[in-house]
Amino acid sequence: MDLRFDNKVVIVTGSARGIGFATAEILAASGAKVAMVDILKDRLEESAQKLRDKGGIAQAFEMDLSKVSTIGPTVTKIREEMGEIEGLINVAAIGPQRNAEDITEEEWDLVYSINSRGLFFMMKEVTSQSMIPQKKGAIVNFASTAGIAGMRRPLNSAHYSSSKGAVVMLTKQGAIEWAEFGIRVNAVAPHGCLTDMVKDMLNTPEKMAMATSQIPMRRLNQPHEVASAAVFLLSDAASMITAHVLPVDGGILSAVI
């Protein structure tokens, strides 16, 4: 099974911390040249240095995914400094918890600007600049079980869930449209992962108990478990897999009672 990425340039958005950093870490250890993209400038450079200290090739590129006008130039800069891009993993997202009746227009727009609009334009720029001309490439998006099934209170978030539902369809649409260019597009759909964002949401013992009680495996993901699934889908070991959304959910989507 080929899970090596020797000398392949791979972009990972949201890679300053959490699942994004875990993903970049696995890729760097597997020989990839990792372009780490995030809005958290200082944390991002620190994380890139950690990978370099371990012998990996990693470079930091600060970017705000909600500002579409910055995406194209950032992709161009990555190509100029690291080479043509063969892989993209879209991890960056925000997930504020809010009851549907309390969501404001501004909050809605911010979540969508990053989780689905920014993700799409990142795919568009990487494919048009590098992958379509090369006629090869692989993309893995981060959806969520929240984009496939509803979330009970107090863990609900209509703008987050619907934006992740959009990621599911952007993944399938991209896979169909770009297959003729040798580009695969897949997604992972985690259900709860112990990142800083999720820890902030599950900030009481009651919320944590509610989050885990419905999961057949009775626990949340660790970042490296989700990252490993994403890296597999990006790899040549998944060469005939496209338009697929892989739940990494401890069985919750199959638990009806």
Q: Where is 163: in which H helix or E strand? A: helix 158-178
Q: Where is 3: in which H helix or E strand? A: none
Listed in sequence order, the residues at least 6 apart from 86 whose beta carbon sits closer than 8 Å to its beta carbon are 8, 9, 10, 130, 131, 134, 136, 137, 138
Q: Tokens for 222?
A: 């660790």
Burial of 19 (0-12, 13-18, 19+ CB in 10 A): buried
Listed in sequence order, the residues at least 6 apart from 118 whose beta carbon sits closer than 8 Å to its beta carbon are 65, 66, 68, 71, 92
103/123 Cα distance (integer angstroms): 28
DSSP state of 124: H
Q: How many CB atoms lie within 10 A of CB 91?
A: 27
Listed in sequence order, the residues at least 6 apart from 38 whose beta carbon sits closer than 8 Å to its beta carbon are 13, 14, 15, 16, 17, 20, 44, 60, 62, 63, 92
Which of these is catalytic: 160, 191, 202, 227?
A: 160
Per the annotation, the verdict on 160 as an active-site residue is yes
Are the CB atoms for 88 and 36 separated by under 8 Å? no
Catalytic positions are: 160
